[in-house]
Amino acid sequence: MRKLTVALLVSICLPAITWAQSDTLRFNSLSEIINTAIAKNPTQAVYQLQIKQARFNYKASKGFIYPSASAAFNGTDNLHLAVTPIPGILIGQPGTTFYAQFGKKYSYNTGVTLGQDLIDWQSIFQSEVAKGNVKLNELQQDSYVQNLKEQVAKLYFTVLVAKASLRISSQDSVYADSLLILSKQRLAQGVTDAIAVNQAEINYNNVLQSKALSKQLYDQGIENLKILLGAKPAQELNLQENVQLNNFSAGEAAKIGADRNLDVYQQQVSIADIQRKSQRSVAYPKLSATAFFGAQEFRDNFGFSLDNSSLIGYRYIGLNLSVPIFTGFANSNKYQSAVVQKQIAEAQYNNALQQSQINDRLLVKNFADYSAAVNASNRSFVLYGRNLKLNQQKYQEGILNMDAYLRVFQDYLNAENAYLNNLSQLLSTRATILSRQ
């Protein structure tokens, strides 16, 4: 009976444990969370659908290379046949005019019409534009992936810095709390004044404020990462990695890869050039062939018969050559507009290329500058921490007064903020570099 009870408890609790585990997303590294974002990001699914749509549009644009076929049936009730005057001499009545009616009251036509464009430059260029749009959508997705990697990396580093700040804040609150208690004790003993107590309480409140802001930064980073990962609102996100503040090393700047945003501008130039050629092809001749295979039937009374003796074969094959001569300068103005559109696309590409090159140079410089700032502020932060411990001992032994100890603690907090700010800037720059690899 006891074994059965245990088995039932396990069978009941196991699904709950599995569900709890599935509601927590754990990531051990930046590369792991970036790969997950690329695979699960909701906007990625939209880009995939847009690419799929562009491919169908391209297939549709190639329809002109296939012949078209249509079947039709029509019937006509000639309410009053047209009258044709003919000379009376044809019927043995010279000098008179006879008004004759030709045709039948009811006529029917049925058959199949075939058509084929033999030379149609505009359709050819339009198909090339559709093909270029497929490539454009693919490049836009690559550009989005680059931006997605940058956003994920920045949020990832933001969460790590916030976690480190929360760890330091817990230690700082211990210092601030003990300092506040000591200042109140010294005030009660009459060896310090209320100003020192107020300053100690201000420092304590500043630590609490810094801790709250770090928690807010952590929560914002986690929730924004969940959006980029396509996670459910109730799911928890756990980043296993931590930033070691005391011995942090940024390393050397990696080589910056190609900017995928430039590929989009370059493809837009290519499409604009094809559209220019397409607009110019409006003035080119167009050659098409058509054929009809059917039958006709003429009757004096209403009705329709499928008898072979009643149906008269009707077939033809023809070629159609059309050459635009004058369209009121509309095509000429449209062509000039297409030329200007290409120039606009080229100007946008050149501007984007120049800005990207400048930003890349600045990115390398910023990484070097922030690395130097982080290393310097890290050393200062460590030294201020050592000084704080030493001065705490002096203060407890009565060698150092309250005012001097408060200044040392305030200097320590300032050094901590400077170090964390420099570290955030460095990791943000590093995130941009990583997105280009």
Number of helices followed by number of strands (H, E) in the chain? 8, 8
- Tell me the pLDDT of the chain averaged across its residues: 87
Per-residue b/e over 131-142, b at no fewer than 16 CB within 10 Å? bbbbbbbbbbbe
Q: Which of 63, 60, 53 is nearest to 136 (CA)?
A: 53
Q: Domain of 207: which CATH number?
A: 1.20.1600.10
**Using CA atoms, how far apart are residues 398 and 394, in angstroms rounded to an integer?**
6
**Using CA atoms, how far apart are residues 430 and 370, in angstroms rounded to an integer?**
10
Mean of the pLDDT values across residues 37-53? 94
The pLDDT of residue 239 is above 60: yes
By the 8 A CB rule, do 150 and 432 touch?
A: yes
Q: Which residue has the tokens 């411990």?
A: 389
Terminal CA-to-CA distance of the chain, rounded, Å?
62
Mean of the pLDDT values across residues 267-293? 93
The answer to whether residue 217 is domain-embedded is: yes
From the CB of residue 292, how many other CB atoms can be counted at a distance below 10 Å? 16
Q: Which of 408, 404, 402 is nearest to 187 (CA)?
A: 402
pLDDT for 250 equals 64
The encoded tokens of residue 228 equal 């980029």
Name the domain count of the chain: 1
Distant-in-sequence, close-in-space partners of 37: CB < 8 Å, separation ≥ 6 = 148, 149, 152, 228, 229, 230
Among 203-207, 241-245, 387-391, 412-416, which stretch is predicted with the lowest mean pLDDT? 241-245
Q: Which domain holds residue 137?
A: 27-66+120-285+329-435
The answer to whether residue 4 is domain-embedded is: no
pLDDT tens, residue by residue, 124-140: 999 999 999 999 999 99
pLDDT tens, residue by residue, 16-36: 333 344 588 899 999 999 999
The answer to whether residue 40 is domain-embedded is: yes
Among 30-34, 158-162, 299-303, 323-327, which stretch is predicted with the lowest mean pLDDT? 299-303
The pLDDT of residue 122 is above 80: yes
Per-residue b/e over 203-226, b at no fewer than 16 CB within 10 Å? bbebbeebbeebeebbeebbebbb
**Using CA atoms, how far apart are residues 68 and 288, in angstroms rounded to an integer?**
11
The pLDDT of residue 348 is above 90: yes
Query: Within 30-120, where are the H helices?
Result: 30-40, 42-61
The pLDDT of residue 6 is above 60: no
* Whole-number Cα distances in Å, 426 to 162, 199, 317, 361: 14, 33, 75, 15
The pLDDT confidence band at residue 40, using thresholds 50, 70 and 90, is: very high
From the CB of residue 404, how many other CB atoms can be counted at a distance below 10 Å? 13
The answer to whether residue 367 is domain-embedded is: yes
pLDDT for 254 equals 67
The pLDDT of residue 266 is above 70: yes
pLDDT for 415 equals 93
Among 12-26, 33-47, 110-124, 232-246, which stretch is predicted with the lowest mean pLDDT? 12-26
pLDDT for 11 equals 42
pLDDT tens, residue by residue, 194-231: 888 898 888 889 899 999 999 999 999 999 999 999 99
**Using CA atoms, how far apart are residues 198 and 32, in angstroms rounded to an integer?**
48
**Using CA atoms, how far apart are residues 178 and 405, in angstroms rounded to an integer?**
12
The answer to whether residue 302 is domain-embedded is: no
The answer to whether residue 319 is domain-embedded is: no
pLDDT for 70 equals 95
The answer to whether residue 310 is domain-embedded is: no
Q: Which residue has the tokens 């994920």?
A: 152
Q: Which residue has the tokens 């444990």?
A: 17
Per-residue HEC secondary structure of 371-396 comes to: HHHHHHHHHHHHHHHHHHHHHHHHHH
The pLDDT of residue 298 is above 90: no
The answer to whether residue 151 is domain-embedded is: yes
Q: Which residue has the tokens 């930033």?
A: 243
% pLDDT > 90, the chain: 56
Among 243-257, 316-330, 356-370, which stretch is predicted with the lowest mean pLDDT? 243-257
The pLDDT of residue 244 is above 90: no
